[in-house]
Amino acid sequence: RLVGSGAEGPDEEVIEAALRPKRLDDFVGQERVREQLGLVLHSALRRSRTPDHVLLSGGPGLGKTTLAMIIAAELGQPLRVSSGPAIERAGDLAAILSTLAEGEVLFLDEIHRMARPAEEMLYMAMEDFRVDVVVGKGPGATAIPLDIAPFTLVGATTRAGMLPGPLRDRFGFVAHMDFYGPEELEVIVRRSARLLDVKIADDAAAEVAGRSRGTPRIANRLLRRVRDFAEVRADGVVTAGLARAALELYEVDERGLDRLDRAVLRSLLATFGGGPVGLSTLAVSVGEEPETVEVVAEPFLVRQGLLARTPRGRIATPAAWTHLGLTPPPPPGD
Ligand code: ADP
């Protein structure tokens, strides 16, 4: 998982699992994706066929894993879970594919990070439910064809653009998951509070939702931080005032920018005069991997109108200067 984006520890993983909606009807927001996916699944069920392979693309914490579990649940099938980075050789993939039961759902997270030979094996498996297992090396190597049970692949990626065309084309349904709106996040916060037995005022739920960067995982995480704060500093009931004080303590600002977001913006403004600057230079200046900056911080900053990606590099918008309380340099030639 990417730094700062995934589950942060065993405790968080347990809580995340507990908060996951189990059926499509409990999944909040992403109206269009939900409706389209519902059709794909139900028509497959009516025809007693395995549905098309599904690709879920979108940033970390937007509900890709949750949807994969829901797909399996709606189909009444078990879910097998693996991920691109875990599949280093074609043999790793063959081992998984050859043990799938008919109709089973295979979830491959971060599918864009799978090794090349495995990717090619996957093309064939997706299309023909068959793989060629290569035995031996050099001129004596032989390919043994192996039939596999019809299955449904659910691939997830934070970077749809990194997926090779031939792989992308083999998914019958591609869903793009976008950031959630504040009202949707508010519903998620209230639902999670109920499940975690946390008393939270409506305006406090709105406060948490508004600072969650459009991301359910962050909404759930911030909810737990304000709960901790309300338990230690007050009687456990989360009011709007307590929520604000807690979020300030955890360095989440009114627009939902966290420490990494602000570090990226500050560096772009103060060190690079507002840009343009290349992604890797910017990432080094904040001590992060380029992929973390690109996948975790930037989409939200772009969406907030604080940063723009241009062919010459990243640039700050005037709103970025205002947000950090800095004065932009005078335009050249003045
Ligand atoms: P991803 O796989 O995209 O990184 P997850 O599916 O792991 O994201 O979701 C992270 C957390 O956010 C989970 O605990 C899940 O309960 C919650 N979540 C995500 N999407 C929704 C949603 N639409 N409704 C309610 N909770 C959600």
Confidence of residue 6 (pLDDT cuts 50, 70, 90): low
| Residue 2 reports pLDDT greater than 50 | no
C-alpha 191 – ligand 1 centre gap (Å): 12
Between strands 152-157 and 313-316, the pairing is unpaired
Say what the pTM is. 0.92
| Burial status of residue 202 (CB atoms within 10 A of its CB: 0-12, 13-18, 19 or more) | exposed
Closest among 147, 234, 218, 233 to 180, alpha carbons compared: 218
| Residue 76 reports pLDDT greater than 70 | yes
CA 214/CA 180 separation, integer angstroms: 5
Confidence of residue 1 (pLDDT cuts 50, 70, 90): very low
- pLDDT for position 334: 61
ipTM of the complex: 0.99
CB 223 within 8 A of CB 196: yes
**CB of 20 closer than 6 A to ligand 1?**
yes
Q: What share of the chain has pLDDT > 70, as a percent? A: 97
pLDDT tens readout for residues 81-130: 999 999 999 999 999 999 999 999 999 999 999 999 999 999 999 999 99
Q: Which residues are annotated as a binding site for DNA?
A: 309, 314
Q: Which residues are annotated as a binding site?
A: 19-20, 61, 64-66, 127-129, 170, 180, 217, 309, 314
Residues with a catalytic annotation lie at 64-65, 109, 158, 217
Nearest CA to ligand 1 atom 11: 217
Between strands 152-157 and 105-109, the pairing is parallel
Cβ atoms < 10 Å from Cβ of 2: 16
Share the mean pLDDT of the chain. 93
- Ordered alpha helix ranges (H), the chain: 10-19, 31-46, 64-75, 90-97, 116-128, 165-169, 182-196, 202-210, 216-233, 240-249, 259-266, 279-285, 290-292, 298-303, 318-323
